[in-house]
Amino acid sequence: MLKFLAMGGYARYVWPCYALTAAVFGLNIRWALRSLTRAKAEARRRIASVRTAS
């Protein structure tokens, strides 16, 4: 296990790459879901305001 983590001496280059990738994957999921949730909330507000006006 330690040998695996050491990556033959390249650990300080290999693991940061994988950590950055995980961060980009996680953030993109969060941003995409947030963008959709906001658009839905905005659309709901718009529909509601049209209803009250009519």
Q: What residues make contact with another protein under the rule CB under 8 A?
A: 4, 7-10, 13-14, 16-18, 20-21, 24-25, 27-29, 31-33, 35-36, 38-40, 42-48, 50-51
What's the CA gap between 7 and 35, in Å, rounded?
Answer: 38
33, 25 contact by CB (below 8 A)? no
10 backbone dihedrals φ, ψ, rounded to 5° = -100, 10
